[in-house]
Amino acid sequence: MKTIPAYKPFYQVILSTLAVTVMGMLIFSGVSPAQDGTPQSSAGGKPGDCMACHTGQQVLSEDHADTTDMTMQQCLICHGPGKIPLSEGFLAAHEQMLSGGPKESPSAEPAKSRAEEPVSVQPSSSLPADCTSCHSETQYTGHFKETAHGALSCTVCHTGVGDLSLHMQGKEKPSPVSCATCHKDVEEKYKESRHAEAGISCIQCHRGIHPQEAAGEAQGKARSTTVCLQCHSDREKYVDRGHTARVMAGNTDAATCTDCHGVHGTKAFEKTEEGDAKKRAYYTALCTFCHAESGVAGNYGVFPKAAEAFGQTYHGKAMKLGEPDRVAGCADCHLAHNILPADNPASALNQAVLVETCGECHKNFHPRFVSYVPHPDPHDKAGFYSLYLTEKFMIALLVGVFAFFWVHCLLWWRKVYAEKRRLKKAGLVQESDLPEELASRYVRRFGVRERIMHIVLILSFFGVVVSGFPIKYAGAPWAKAFISLMGGVAGAALIHRVSAAAMSLLFLYVCWRSLRFLFPGFKVKGWLGRLFGPESLFPRWKDFQDCFGMFKWFFNAGEKPEFDRWTYWEKFDFMAVFWGMFVIGLSGMVLWIPEYASWVMPGWMINIMHLAHSEEAFLAAVFIFTVHFFNTHLVPDKFPLEKNIFTGRYTVGALKHERPLEYERIVREGRLEEISCEGPGSGVRVFAWMFGIASILLGIVLTVLIFWAMLG
């Protein structure tokens, strides 16, 4: 609403409005307000024009432009109803015209008086909204209304015009348009964007605010792409290949510039190693979002399981763990915009240039290294048959081992528990048939060397499990916490390799001792007897008989078998080490130095080694933490800990109860005194309890975490 000057009587305002309204109607009809209704031109002007009375000389002033050819419509822009307040002389003259009074042209004196009187111009917010009276080009009068801003008045964006007359003379121009006046949320995103960093303004992209032509049917993604191409004009790089080519061909599901780079928040990454890593992680996440099976690309069947398979490689696992600086992301291999199938000669994955592409990160490899499959799918029988067979074999091995030994453990626990309950119910106590003095004597089971070897094995085994499984299950909720405690992926890799090296050296030492056992003093004679003898850890026929007899005992179909120095489950543990170290050790070495490994095997073998390493690690860890722990420590008649592996000794009574055949053989050979020893000291007992219980608890916790990750 306009502000009415205080010095004007209210009736004058009413009259002025009425006068100008009537004058406008008369003028538009081409009739001058003479009493007889005939056109009048007191100053020789055109009938119906303001200039009929107000000659150019009379209205020329600092508030007007050259009015020689001014038309009535131009006058009404400012002097129409409800606009610039009118002077006293103007009101009086037009009142006389309306009442039929003198129709003389205003004298020069009033004209001078009016020229000297300042015209009160309202602020730009109160100026006439219809700027198209002057700005009458098509982009302002027609097509602008079709745009998103069409409902707004001009002065919403074009502020700063305080004096319309000065604006009409070109002396006062609108302030620079600030899109942030309305789009504050967009402005905040834009401030952090790459475009803001480069000094690109809103108008440089949004050039169609006042369109020259009507909007056609070319809307959506293809049209937004053309906006980006105003600056990014390299069509071969940005348009003719990959996603954009599909967009321009009419595929509305294909990714366009803004899908990856954002509309206003185009990410700006500093040109440093840290910035490059952040950029790699950001865009890899975008790629996997669409190329997951549930994403847009998955709906088209494009590279099925590409994202899932990438996540199973070391590249994908390190990326999940938050260390993109150590591995390649999607754009490192597929490039940022040249995203083409490998069979396209222009693709970075084409066989002709693949060595160069891989060489960006990997060095000193044989050309066959590039046969490595970066998106391996072991379920794809037709695409990767060798990997498919490897997975099936490992699954069969896992199912077979765990099905047998978990059932074995459950039946054993049930049997021992039932026996204890029966004795307790009958009020009986299981006693040794040996004299108390003899039964309580200690004998040596393991020497200091064997005990140290076992402790080294425990520590190195926990080392490889704690450092390896957070990478195997990189997506697990606990994985990042474990990796952080080890100083990141690099720290975990160091712990893993040091632990693996210690375990490998220990394995080689066991191999050496096994050879010395078979060929003492390099003597070959009698080696077969020693291999299948009672002191050997190599399986023999009796072990199969003992296993069968154990199952008969589980079901109350026979007596419990009598064992010698080693039981069949202990021999299985020992022999499994040879299989496990061969698979895990060899595959781990290949994964450690894949480039050098390519000189002796093709790159696709690395995929097989990775799968075998991972699955065998699962078999070893879960077997130790469930089956071995139960057989050795958690079976009810030993719960919660069997200490002799740490103390190296146990009683004669325990020897006769657990291994009666060994006891009889020792007595028969007269070696009981030879192996007799003092009981373990308090320090050894405390260490055995603390180290043993801690190891068991840690193993149980790791088992829970492994199954949480696997089933989660």
Question: 344 and 296, same structural domain?
Answer: yes
**Angle subtended at Cα 384 by Cα 382 and Cα 387, rounded to the nearest 5 degrees:** 130
Range of the domain at 255: 181-261
Instruction: Find the largest Cα–Cα distance for the chain.
Output: 154
Structural domain includes residue 557: yes
Neighbours of 618 (CB within 10 A): 17
The residue out of 236, 261, 286 marking a domain boundary is 261
Residue 124: the pLDDT is 40
Question: 393 and 343, same structural domain?
Answer: no
Residue 162: the pLDDT is 81
DSSP string, 493-544: HHHHHHHHHHHHHHHHHHHHHHHHHHSGGG--TTHHHHHTSTT--S--HHHH
Question: 554 and 609, same structural domain?
Answer: yes
Structural domain includes residue 151: no
- What is the C-alpha to C-alpha distance for residues 319 and 337, in angstroms, rounded to an integer? 21
Q: Which residues of 657-684 are buried (b: 16+ CB within 10 A; e: fewer)?
A: bbbeebbeebeeeeebeeeeeeebeeeb
CATH number at residue 707: 1.20.950.20
* DSSP 3-state of 442: strand
CB 205 within 8 A of CB 194: no
Q: Which tokens sit at 367? A: 């050309």
Q: Reading across the β-sheet that carries 442-444, which strands appear in turn?
A: 649-651, 442-444, 676-677
Residue 10: burial class (beta carbons within 10 Å; 0-12, 13-18, 19+): exposed
Structural domain includes residue 66: yes
CB 631 within 8 A of CB 569: yes
Question: 705 and 589, same structural domain?
Answer: yes
Cis peptide upstream of residue 640 (ω within 30 degrees of 0): yes
- What is the C-alpha to C-alpha distance for residues 187 and 321, in angstroms, rounded to an integer? 33
Structural domain includes residue 193: yes
Question: 585 and 512, same structural domain?
Answer: yes
Structural domain includes residue 660: yes
How many H helices and E strands in the chain?
Answer: 38, 3
Question: 469 and 408, same structural domain?
Answer: yes
The residue out of 215, 235, 261 marking a domain boundary is 261
CB 473 within 8 A of CB 302: no
Question: 551 and 449, same structural domain?
Answer: yes
Structural domain includes residue 135: no
Residue 341: the pLDDT is 85
Q: Please name the residues in contact with 170: beta carbons below 8 A apart, sequence gap of 6 or more.
A: none
Structural domain includes residue 239: yes
Question: 331 and 245, same structural domain?
Answer: no
- What is the C-alpha to C-alpha distance for residues 436 and 651, in angstroms, rounded to an integer? 11
Question: 393 and 322, same structural domain?
Answer: no
Q: Name the residue with tokens 């000669």.
A: 345
The residue out of 261, 289, 316 marking a domain boundary is 261
The number of distinct structural domains making up the chain is 4
Q: Name the residue with tokens 């469930």.
A: 626
Question: 329 and 198, same structural domain?
Answer: no
Question: 280 and 248, same structural domain?
Answer: no
Low-confidence ranges of the chain (pLDDT < 70): 1-130, 215-220
Phi, psi of 649 (to 5 degrees): -150, 155
* DSSP 3-state of 193: strand
Residue 146: the pLDDT is 78
Question: 598 and 533, same structural domain?
Answer: yes
Structural domain includes residue 286: yes
Q: Give helix 541-554 / helix 385-426 axis angle, nearest 10°.
A: 60
H helix runs in 427-447, sequence order = 436-439
CB 615 within 8 A of CB 402: no
Sequence letter at residue 338: N
pTM of the prediction? 0.76
Q: Name the residue with tokens 């037009």.
A: 94
